[in-house]
Structure 1
Amino acid sequence: MTSFDALLPRPVELRPADGLLSLDAGTTLDADDADDAAEPAAAWLRGALRAATGLPLRPAGAESTIRFATVATVTEPEGYRLRVDADGVLVEAADPAGAFYAAQTIRQLLGAPAFRTGAVHSGPWRLPFGEIVDHPRFGWRGGLLDVARHFMPKADVLRFVDLLAAHKLNVLHLHLTDDQGWRFEVRRYPKLTEVGAWRTESRAGHRTEGVFDGRPHGGYYTQDDLREIVAYAAERHVTVVPEIDLPGHMQAAIAAYPALGNTSAQLPVWTDWGINENVLNVADGTLEFLRHVFDELLEVFPGTVIGLGGDEVPTTQWRDNAVAARRMAELGATDPAELHGWIIRQIAEHLAAQGRTAYGWDEILDVGPLPAGAVVASWRGEEAGVAAVRAGHDVVMCPEKHVYLDYRQSELADEPIPVGRLLTVEDVYRYEPIPDGVTGAEPGRVLGAQANVWTEFLDSPRRVDYAAFPRLSAFAEVVWSRPEDRKPEEFLRRLAADHLPRLDALGVEYRPLAGPRPWQTRPGVPGFPRD
C-alpha cells in the first residue's frame, strides 16, 4: 500500500481519511450493471491485479467491492472521482478514459508490487481511505518513439505503450521512416521494406568522430503488426499518430526506388546521422507515390492526426534540377524553398480530403500557407508555437531544449554517449508547455505537449529505458497536473521513494538519480555535448 501523496502524476484534489480497505479472496471488481463505458477499465484492472495479487477479483456488477461507473456529474474530459471507504471503492468517471486512469491510480495506491506480472507480495493488500478528484490539464500528452533510426521490435513497442499508459500519457507519436530506415510495410511498393528497411552499418556515436560499428541493422512492421499496436494502444487510451517524414529524411525510400530522387545515383540506406541533402524530387510520379503510401497508412491508422514530417529539408538538389525548374515555372515560384511548401500542401490536402489532419514539424510554417486545421509540432523552440497559434493552427509543444530525451542527463564523465544539451529530471519537471504571451483568446490552441525519444544513440530497448526514464515520469506530471501543484523537491521525494520502485517492478532500466550503473555506460562511444 502507498499513500495518496505518493501518486504520480499528482492528482488535482486529494482528501485522505483514516482507515484502510483490505482486499482478499472475497473482493469483487466490476462495472455497475449495464455500464458499457466503464466495463473495459474494470476488466483491465481485474487482469492487472489478478496477475500481481493472485486474487480472483470476480465480477459482481453493482454489488462489487470495487465498482466503476460513468456519470454525468464528472464533467472534465478524461476525469474521474475515486472514493475508498469501508463500503469499498467507487470510481465515477466522465468517460472510458477517465475510468482507465482511475484504474491506474488504484494500482499505484496498492504499491509497487501491484505493477508486477506475478504474485510476489506476501503481506495484505490494502487501499487507504479517502477521495481523489482528478483530470488532466492537457488533451495531448504524448511521447515520440523513433523506430526509424534504430528499429524497436513489436513487443517492445507494446511495452512502451504500457509505460505511457502507466503514466497517463495518451499519444504515441511513431516516427516510422527516415534516411536510416523505412519501417512501414507498403504493399504497393514492396522494396520500401525489402531494401529500405536495412542498412549495412550505423555510425557509432556522434558523426564528428567518423566511427562506424560495422554491424547491419534493420527491421520493419507489417501492416498487421501496426494494426495490433494500434488496437493494443486504444485499449489503454493511447492514440498512435504515425509519421512518414517528407520531403527530406527520405534516403531509405530513394534507396528502394531511385526514381524518387534528384540524381541518377543508386543510393544506399543512409548509415550516418544528421541533415541529408538527398530529398525527394517534385515530379508527378513522386507525388503519386506519396499519395499511395499515405492511402495505405490511413487504412492501418484510424486516428484523425497523421504526421507528414516536413523538417530539415535542404534545397540544394532542387537548385540545379530540370524537374524542379519545370515545377517552379508551373507554380510561378522564384525560390526552390517554395517547392518544400508545395509538396507539404499537396499531401496535407490529400489527408484533409479523407477526413484527416496533417501534423508536421514547425518548419512547415516557414514555407507558405498551410491548409486550415494543420497541427504544428513546435520543436526548434517556443517561438514557432506562438506563431502557429496566432496563425490559427493548433500546436503541440515539444521544444528540443526542454523535452528531447536523447539529450545528456548530467555532466558526469561516464554519461553514455553525451549529446545535445544538458537536460536533467529537474529540468524536464520545470518545463511549462504554455509559452509566454499565449492566451485562450488566440485563434489556435496549445493542445498539449510531447517528449521526444530520438534513437540515433539509443540502439536497444535498454538504452531507450535509460534515456526516457525517469525524465518521462517528470514530463507526465507536467502535462497532467496544474502548474501551481508542481513542487520540484516534493516531486523528487515521490519519485525516489515511490515511483522508482514502480519502475523497478515494471522492469524499466531507468537511469538512477545518482548516475548510470556500470553496465549503462558506453565507454569509447563518442558524444558531442553542447550548451
Structure 2
Amino acid sequence: MGAPSVPADSLVPRPAEISTGAYDGLVLTPSTRIDADHAARGAELWLRTELGAATGLPLPRGDGQTAQIRLSVDRGAGLGSEGYRLIVDGEGALVVGHDPAGVFYGAQTLRQLLPPAAYRRAPLEPDGRWTLPSVRITDRPRFGWRGCMLDVGRHFMPKHDVLRFVDLLALHKLNVLHLHLTEDQGWRLEIKRYPRLTEVGAWRTESQVGAGSPAAFDGRPHGGFYTQDDIREIVAYAAARHITVVPEIDVPGHSQAAIAAYPELGEGEPVGVARHWGIIDNVLNVTDTTLEFYRNVFDEVLDLFPSTYICVGGDECPKEQWRRSQTAQRRIREEGLADEEELQSWFVRHFDGYLAERGRRLLGWDEILEGGLAPGATVMSWRGTEGGVAAARAGHDVVMCPTDTSYLDYRQSGDDGEPVPVGTVLTTEDVYAAEPVPAELSEQEARRVLGAQVNVWTEHMDTPRAVDYMVFPRLAAFAEAVWSPGRREYGGFLPRLEEHLRRLDALGVEYRPLSGPLPWQSRPGVAGRPR
C-alpha cells in the first residue's frame, strides 16, 4: 500500500509492554517468506491466508533460514498462558508464543501493525508497499475467560454469519463464544434422537417487533437451525482461532420451543413456539421422562462440543405452573425440598452430576444460586455483581456479565435515533470503564473470577447488520478491559479506537459511528423499552 504503516500505538487491545525500535521496519515483498515450528503451524496458515488475500503476496513457507517472518512456541520464554512476544527489527519479524494461542495473538497484533487495508479480501493496489514498523511487544491477557454470548434463539444467525462473527471475536483476542442455542422462540440445534425439536421448534409463525404495549407483530415466519455438521464446522473454525464454543441448552425455563415440539415435556396445554418476547410462564415438568429426554439431548451436545463448560441456563424460570402441578408438588415432597426454588435447584443439580460424571462442568446464570448452588457449578453473574460475589465467596468460579455494563442489547445513547432503545444507556466509554472484578472481593476470592463476557440478546436484532450496530465498537472496548492490564483511560483509548474503526471499515462491519446512528441504522416507529 502507498499509505504509511500504522503507528504501533494504535493497537487494540493495548499490549502490556510496547516500545518502538530504531530500525526502518520490515517491507513485505514477493520474496517474503513465513516460517513456523510445528506447534505454530496453525497461526502460520492463518497469517498467510489473511495477509496473502489483502496484499496479493504469495508469502511462501521458509526453510528455517530465509524466512523474514518467523513464528514459534517456546514455553520457557516466561510469557505465561496465551502470552506472546513480537519483535520487528532489521532481521525480520519474530513472534514467540507461550503456546499456540499466544502465537496466534501475536500474529493478530502483527496484522494490526499494517494499514487497515490489510483487512480486505483483495489488494487495492497490485504493487502496493507494505511495511511493518520496528517494534518490540511483550503481551499476555489479564483474564482467561474473555467471552461473548450470542443469542441465536430469538433471531437465527446463518452459519456463514456466525463464522464471520468468530473472526471478529478473534480479531479482538476474545476466546469464548457462548452460543445461546435454545429459547422460547426457537430451538437451533439438530438433535437426531428428537427430530421435532428442529422440525417444529426451530420455526415460529411471526415475531414481535419492538417492545411496545400492546405488542406488534411482523406477520413473517422466522426460523432456522444448525445441522450437527454445521456445528462441527463452527466449533472447528473457532478452535483454529483459539476460541472455545460453549453451548447453552436452557432449562427448565425458556423452553417453550421444546415443549411445542414435544408437549409431554410441559406442565400445561400444548403450545406453539413463542412469537413474543419476555419471560414466559411455560416451563418444563420435573418427571423422570423429562430428565431422561434432556440427558439424551445433552449426550448429543457433548459429542458436538468439546468445551469443558456446558451452559444449562437456569434463568428466569417462573414457578406458577409448578405451584399448581401435582407432579411438581409430589417431587418436592419426595425429595424433601422446601419449595419451588429448591425444586429448580434440584433440577439443575441433576445435570451438574450428569456433566461431572462425563468430565464437564455446569455453567448457569446466577438464578442457579437460588435454592442452593450445585456443587460443581460455575456462575454467570448477570443481575448485577451480587451473584458473582456470593458464588466466589462460596468457593465457586464466576464469569462476570452484569447487565449495566455487559448487555449489548442496551441502548447506546439517549438520542431519539437509537434503534429500538431498551434498558439503560450503555456507551462505549461505559463498557471500557467497567471493572470485571467486584471491589468487595478479597484477593483470594477474586481468583474465582475467571473473567467476563458481554451478552448479545437478539430480540431486537433481526439481521446481522443490526448485530454489527449493537456490538461494535463496544466489543473493542470490552476486549481491552479483559485483555490489558493496568489503569484504563478512555481518553487514551479513543484515538486508538478511531484508528481501529478503519480496520472495521475494511472488514465491512456496520458499527455504530461514535457520533451517533446513521439514518438507515435507526428504526422509526418501533417502540423500545428504555429505562
Give the TM-score, by structure 1 length: 0.97
Using the alignment, how far apart are the partners of 1:49 and 1:74 within structure 2? 29
The alpha-carbon distance between structure 1 residues 369 and 528, as it changes in their structure 2 partners (threshold 3 A), is closer
**2:41 aligned residue:** 39
CA change 1:444–1:286 in 2 (3 A) is farther
Equivalent residue number for residue 526 of structure 2: 525
Partners of 1:459 and 1:339 in 2: CA distance:
35
What residue number does 1:51 align with?
53
Asked if the contact 1:414–1:522 (Cα under 8 Å) also holds between the matched residues in 2, the reply is yes
The alpha-carbon deviation at position 5 of structure 1 amounts to 0.4
Which residue of the partner structure matches residue 179 of structure 1?
A: 184
Identity percentage of aligned residues: 60
Where do residues 150-189 of structure 1 align in structure 2 (5 Å cutoff)?
150-189=155-194
Residue equivalent to 1:368: 372
Q: 2:451 aligns with which of 448, 466, 474?
A: 448
Match of 1:515 in 2: 516
Aligned-partner Cα distance in 1 for 2:201–2:352 = 24
The C-alpha deviation readout for 1:406-457, integer Å capped at 9, x for no partner, is 1000111111100111000000000000101223312861000000000000
Structure 1 position 61, deviation (Å): 3.4
2:98 aligned to which of 94, 113, 117:
94
Cα RMSD (Å): 1.0
User: How far apart in 2 are the matches of 1:519 and 1:478?
Assistant: 30
CA distance in 2, matches of 1:472, 1:179: 27
SS of match in other structure, 1:215 = coil
2:428 counterpart of 1:428: no
Instruction: Compute the displacement of 1:518 (Å).
Output: 1.1
User: Residues of 2 paired with 1:354 and 1:14: CA distance?
Assistant: 43
Counterpart pick for 1:413 among 416, 428, 436: 416
Kindly tell me: are residues 339 and 444 of structure 1, through their superposed partners in 2, closer, same or farther at Cα, counting changes over 3 Å? farther
Pairing partner for 1:276 from 268, 271, 280:
280
| Structure 1 residue 30: Cα displacement | 1.3
Counterpart for residue 492 of structure 1: 494
Report the CA distance shift for 1:130/1:444 in structure 2 as closer, same or farther (over 3 A): closer
Which residue in the other structure is 1:129 paired with? 134
Partner residue in 2 for 1:61: 63
Secondary structure of 2:86's counterpart equals strand
- Supply the distance in 2 between the matched residues of 1:482 and 1:214 (Cα, whole angstroms): 49
2 CA distance for matches of 1:386 and 1:349? Answer: 24
**Of 11, 19, 30, which residue of structure 2 is paired with 1:7?**
11
Opposite residue 135 of structure 2, the aligned amino acid is G
Contact 2:468–2:509 (Cα < 8 Å) also in 1: yes
Residue 255 (structure 2) pairs with residue 254 (structure 1): no
AA of the residue aligned to 1:505? A
TM superposition shift of 1:207? 4.5
- 8 Å CA contact 1:181–1:252 kept in 2: the answer is yes
Offset at 1:20? Answer: 2.2
The C-alpha deviation readout for 1:488-513, integer Å capped at 9, x for no partner, is 011111111x1000000111000000
Aligned ranges 1:126-525 → 2 under 5 Å: 126-263=131-268, 265-372=269-376, 374-442=377-445, 445-484=448-487, 486-496=488-498, 498-525=499-526
Report the Cα offset of residue 334 of structure 1: 3.0
97, 104, 116: which one pairs with 1:112? 116
Question: Quick one: which amino acid aligns to residue 465 of structure 2?
Answer: R
Q: Distance in 2 between matches of 1:335 and 1:44?
A: 54
Confirm or deny: 8 A CA contact 1:378 1:399 kept in the other structure. Answer: yes
Quick one: structure 1 residues 494 and 75, their matched pair in 2 at CA, closer, same or farther if it must change by over 3 Å? closer
Q: Is the contact between residue 30 and residue 59 of structure 1 (CA under 8 Å) also seen in structure 2?
A: yes
The 2-side partners of 1:76 and 1:304 are apart by 21
Match of 2:34 among 25, 29, 37: 29
Deviations 1:29-68 (A, max 9, x none): 111xxx2111211111011100000011111132210001
Rounded Cα–Cα distance in structure 1 between residues aligned with 2:72 and 2:261: 52
Aligned partner letter, 1:109 = L
Q: What whole-Å deviation, never above 9, does each CA across 1:434-485 have from its counterpart, x for those lacking one? A: 101223312861000000000000001000000000000100000000132x
Deviations 1:112-161 (A, max 9, x none): 01011111145310011120000000000000000000000000000000
Contact 1:74 1:93 in 2 (8 A): no
Aligned residues of 2:55 and 2:128 also touching (Cα < 8 A): no
Deviations 1:213-232 (A, max 9, x none): 11110000011100100000
User: Within 1, Cα distance between the matches of 2:420 and 2:214?
Assistant: 12
Distance (Å, rounded) in 2 between the aligned partners of 1:336 and 1:92 = 54
Name the amino acid aligned to 1:386. Answer: V
> Aligned partners of 2:259, 2:486: CA distance in 1, in Å?
46
Superposed CA deviations along residues 287-327 of structure 1, whole A, max 9, x for unmatched, are: 00110010110000011110000000111001111111211
Give 1:83's aligned residue. Answer: 87
Q: Unmatched 5+ residue regions in structure 2?
A: none
What is the distance in 1 between the residues matched to 2:214 and 2:62?
64
Question: Which amino acid in structure 1 is aligned with residue 17 of structure 2?
Answer: E
Rounded to whole Å, the distance in 2 between the matches of 1:365 and 1:443 is 18
Cα displacement string for residues 325-345 of structure 1 (whole angstroms, at most 9, x for unaligned residues): 211111112312211111101
Check 1:164–1:60 CA distance in 2 against 1; reply closer, same or farther (3 A cut). Answer: same
Whole-angstrom CA distance in 2 between matches of 1:322 and 1:383: 34
C-alpha displacement of 1:25: 0.7
* CA shift digits 1:3-30 (9 cap, x unpaired): 1100000000011123222111111111
Counterpart of 1:274, as a letter, is G
8 Å Cα contact 1:136-1:481 kept in structure 2: yes
Gaps of 5+ in 1: none
| C-alpha distance in structure 2 between counterparts of 1:198 and 1:306, whole Å | 24
Provide the aligned length of Structure 1 versus Structure 2: 523
